[in-house]
């Protein structure tokens, strides 16, 4: 089945810096890749997603890139703010098994 790896597990940056989180997946049939932000005790919130027919997508300070050949995708956050501090999860939708497989999560800490 699908396996999603995520790095780094923790990331500390200064306010205003950029943050990059990387994920790799194993199932070449996966075709949808969402990113979620989760604050402590809360539900995951979709922040951006990308489908396999697109290489890059941007929404204000957040962007996602996808390399289907290498089977990896990345989240880029620019001009980070303290309120960006949270745990971020990548995920891959497997068309064969019809389910989302989540990465292990990245704890992002943005210091003022």
Partner 1 sequence: GAVVSQHPSRVICKSGTSVKIECRSLDFQATTMFWYRQFPKQSLMLMATSNEGSKATYEQGVEKDKFLINHASLTLSTLTVTSAHPEDSSFYICSARATSGSRSSYEQYFGPGTRLTVT
When the beta carbons of 29 and 46 are compared against partner 1, the nearer one is: 46
**Which of 11, 49, 85, 109 touches partner 1 by CB under 8 A?**
49
Q: CA-to-CA distance for 48 and 46, rounded, in angstroms?
A: 6
Please report whether residue 75 would count as binding partner 1 according to CB under 8 A.
no
Tell whether residue 51 is a contact of partner 1 (CB under 8 A).
yes
**Among 39, 46, 61, 67, contact with partner 1 (rule: CB under 8 A):** 46
Biggest alpha carbon–alpha carbon distance for the chain: 44
The piece of 12-20, 46-54, 55-63, 67-75 that touches partner 1 (CB under 8 A) is: 46-54
d(C-alpha 100, C-alpha 98), whole Å: 7
How many Cβ atoms from other residues are within 10 Å of residue 30's Cβ? 23
Residue 105 touches partner 1, criterion: CB under 8 A: yes
Report residue 102 as tokens. Answer: 């989540």
């Amino acid at each position: 089945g699908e396996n999603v790896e995520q790095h780094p597990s923790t990331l500390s940056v200064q306010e205003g810096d950029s943050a990059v989180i990387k994920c790799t997946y194993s199932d070449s049939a996966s075709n949808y890749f969402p990113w979620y932000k989760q604050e402590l005790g809360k539900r995951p919130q979709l922040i951006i997603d990308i489908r396999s027919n697109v290489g890059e997508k941007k929404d204000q300070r957040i962007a996602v890139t996808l390399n289907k050949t290498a089977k990896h995708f990345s989240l880029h956050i620019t001009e980070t703010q303290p309120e960006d501090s949270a745990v971020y999860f990548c995920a891959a939708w497997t068309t064969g098994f019809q389910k989302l497989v989540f990465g292990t999560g990245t704890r992002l800490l943005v210091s003022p």
